[in-house]
Structure 1
Amino acid sequence: MAGSGKTCYVRKLVDVLKSNRKKVYVINLDPAVTKIHYKANIDIRDSINYRQIMKKYNLGPNGAIMTSLNIFVTRWFTDKLNELRFDKILELLDKRSEVVDYIILDTPGQIEVFNWSASGTIILGSISINLSFLESLSSSFPTMVNYLIDTTRSQNPITFMTNMIYACSVMYKCQLPFVASFNKIGNQTRGFIYGYFLDVNRHEVCLDWMSDYEKFYEAVTHDETYMASLSRSCALMLNEFYMNIKCCGISCMTGEGFEEHVKLLDECVDEYNR
């Protein structure tokens, strides 16, 4: 989601993988980001001017992002790679597959781009099904989704539940191996939350809510609002989702948790290949 630290995550993941002597290919698909702290092999901003899209079509920020992605995956454009279209990019990735260990896509934070837009379906569908235009399923890339969660904001049980509903929506829409990564852990700041002093940047409280409904119920029992009631009902509904989801805590600033995180990514490869 927006603000969860996706760009910082990509930078740290690239650093960790390269330190393990892995070859990485990075694609930035966020047209609105002003600066990225990693070297992108393909950058949507080289061919799509986000602000011009806003002005030309009289769009707001979210509408311009979705329109930029739609243009990117459906029309010809000219950039440093010479007249590429998204299907041509897929061919390029297919050629790189023999020499690259990981392909990383840095996406916009707006969840609707990949869950409910044509561009998201094309991007995820093309990569996860086959890079050679359905010639053979065996030539497809093992593909997974990493859903990044802001741990600090998710200490609020209502915000946590909203994140989980979004995560569930993404996982079942994509039908791909899935990891939920709680970012921004490691800061041992303590705060008074719902009657308790808690380490506000520890993800264990969120994992407890996922594994034990009673603990989540206790966290919202003081709240009599409709949202709290809805969250309690959703927690029961999501039990099956929780049992089938891989989770970890990471810090994109310090690198904490990335060793376990990379292991989960590799487990997703095995899951995809089964």
Structure 2
Amino acid sequence: MAGSGKTTFMQRLVSHLYTHPDPTQSEPSVSKVAPTPPYIINLDPAVHHVPFTPNIDIRDSVNYKEVMKQFNLGPNGGILTSLNLFSTKIDQVIGLLEKRTQPPAPVKEPEQTTVEFMTNSGKEKQPAPVQQQQVKHILVDTPGQIEVFVWSASGEILLSSLASTFPTVIAYIIDTPRTTSTSTFMSNMLYACSILYKTKLPMILVFNKTDAQDAQFAKDWMTDFEAFQTALRNEEEGGSFGGEGAGGGSGYMGSLLNSMSLVLEEFYKHLSVVGVSAMTGDGMDDFFRGVNEKAEEFERDYKPELERRRAEREQEKQATRQRELDKLMKDMKVGGAGNKPTPRRKRDDPETVSDAEDAADDDQDEDLDYEDELDSDDPEQGLQQRYRDTIREHSTNKQDDDMSFARYVQAAKFH
């Protein structure tokens, strides 16, 4: 949430990965392997300064203030529009991440030329070209407005693109000193529940600022229902329900929180909970151990589900294309039985003179329609048939004219 210390937590993550070859260890271990620097992405367009150097920064692509001015938007609308504009380049971002996460290609040593070998100038060892290290951790800093990022089309595009390519884990940062009351604690849990079921990705609850307030009470409330009930009862009796200065609250709030704690008991089983201090770095090893567990859970449980949903979407697209094709073929009458002429209907005997005249007109119309259908089935065959009929008609008329002239000449000789 906003103000929970996300940016400071990101700074501590970066520092921990730069100084610890094994991030799951609390103390820097002596190792011959150099620590692998993370790949950092900043998706908050409204931040003025970040205490780390991002590899990809949304502020380099989108000017947040210009977006607000050009589209006449407020702060949240400007953030949402900036994310929408940035999401159009997600394919380029994924391409860069795929290149950096691949193992580096082996570098061939330069061969000595004949001149270098003869002049002994090649004895001096040339420095090997510097290789980029393979990235093992990708850190993404998101805006603090949850609804802007999670419940928007651009946020879904960014998350689904990352999850379809890399094991993705969501860290929900909670301000521990502001979560000591049962009402604010339950509000945070509802937020986390909505994010979990909206994104369908593994999640870790990070109770930040443990240097100011220990997070053990929150872990007890999540694992022990009776402990939460006791804390809720104490707040109602002491008149501090809802936090300091909030008064005793109303009666329905107590019953609502009581019911919600029962409902979310199953939800707590799918979460990993860690307490960290972004200021001192305490608990960062526990956080990375939780990340490794959630990455394995992603490969085991979430990745097959993502592949199944992707296959369903492809099947739906194929079915939609097939329906459109069938509709087009039907409109063009390209089907098997659609191009046959309609057989003539057998009519009943007319009972009156008017019925007989109408039937004769209908028969004539049907004959014309039937001939048109025959011609429409095979245009070339219909054209040939009309050509033959025309030739036959003209040849018959010519023979009749010749016979009439012959009879006239014969009659003239006899007279």
Give the TM-score taking structure 1 as reference length: 0.85
Matched residue, 1:179: 204
* SS of corresponding position for 2:189: helix
* Alignment map for 1:34-73 (pairs within 5 Å): 34-73=48-87
Matches of 2:72 and 2:42 in 1, distance apart?
24
The root-mean-square deviation of aligned C-alpha atoms, in Å, is 1.2
Aligned 1:105-124 pairs, distance under 5 A: 105-124=140-159
Superposition pairs for residues 100-249 of structure 1, below 5 Å?
A: 100-129=135-164, 140-187=165-212, 201-221=213-233, 222=236, 223=241, 224-225=249-250, 226-249=252-275
Displacement after TM superposition at 1:231 (Å): 2.0
**Residues in 1 aligned to 2:190 and 2:10: alpha-carbon distance in whole angstroms:** 23
Deviation, structure 1 residue 10 = 0.7
The answer to which structure has the higher helix fraction is 2
Structure 2 counterpart of 1:195 = none
Corresponding residue for 2:98? 94
Q: Contact (CA 8 Å) 1:113, 1:119: kept in 2 or not? A: no
Q: What is the one-letter code of the residue matched to 1:5? A: G
CA contact (8 A) 2:274 2:283 kept: yes
Kindly tell me: are residues 52 and 228 of structure 1, through their superposed partners in 2, closer, same or farther at Cα, counting changes over 3 Å?
A: farther
For these two proteins, the number of residue pairs brought into alignment is 241
The separation in 1 between residues aligned to 2:253 and 2:267, in whole angstroms, is 20
| Structure ranking higher on relative contact order (CA contacts 8 Å, 6+ apart) | 1
Gaps of 5+ in 1: 75-84, 130-139, 188-200
User: 1:31 — aligned with what?
Assistant: 45
Report the residue type matching 1:2 in the other structure: A
Q: TM-score, normalised by structure 2?
A: 0.57
Distance 2:93 2:62 in 1: 15
For residues 212-270 of structure 1, give each alpha carbon's deviation from its aligned partner in whole angstroms, at most 9, with x where no partner exists.
12221222220452433322221111001111110000000000000111111111111
Q: Is the 8 A contact 1:26 1:42 kept in 2?
A: yes
String of CA shifts for 1:83-135, please: whole Å, max 9, x gaps.
Answer: xx221111111111121010010000111123210011100001101xxxxxx
Letter in 1 for 2:18: K
Q: Distance in 2 between matches of 1:248 and 1:22?
A: 23
Equivalent position SS for 1:219: helix
**Structure with max Cα Rg:** 2
Percent identity, aligned pairs only, is 48
| Higher-strand-fraction structure | 1
1:73 Cα deviation (Å)? 0.7
- CA contact 1:161–1:231 (8 Å) conserved in 2: yes
Contact 2:90 2:161 in 1 (8 A): no
Greater mean alpha carbon deviation, residues 177-186 or residues 224-233: 224-233
Name the SS of the counterpart of 1:146 in structure 2.
strand
Provide Cα deviations, 1:182-238, integer angstroms capped at 9, x if missing partner: 000023xxxxxxxxxxxxx11111111111122212222204524333222211110
For structure 2, the 5+ residue unaligned runs are 21-34, 103-133, 242-248, 301-415
Deviations, residues 145-177 of structure 1 (Å, cap 9, x unaligned): 011000010112111110000001111111111
Provide the C-alpha distance between the structure 2 equivalents of 1:213 and 1:53, rounded to a whole number of angstroms: 47
Aligned residue for 2:285, secondary structure, equals helix
Aligned to 1:6: 6
**Whole-angstrom distance in 1 between the partners of 2:46 and 2:231:** 36
Q: How many Å separate the matches in 1 of 2:259 and 2:17?
A: 40
Inter-partner Cα distance in structure 2 for 1:230 and 1:91? 47
AA aligned to 1:163 is: N
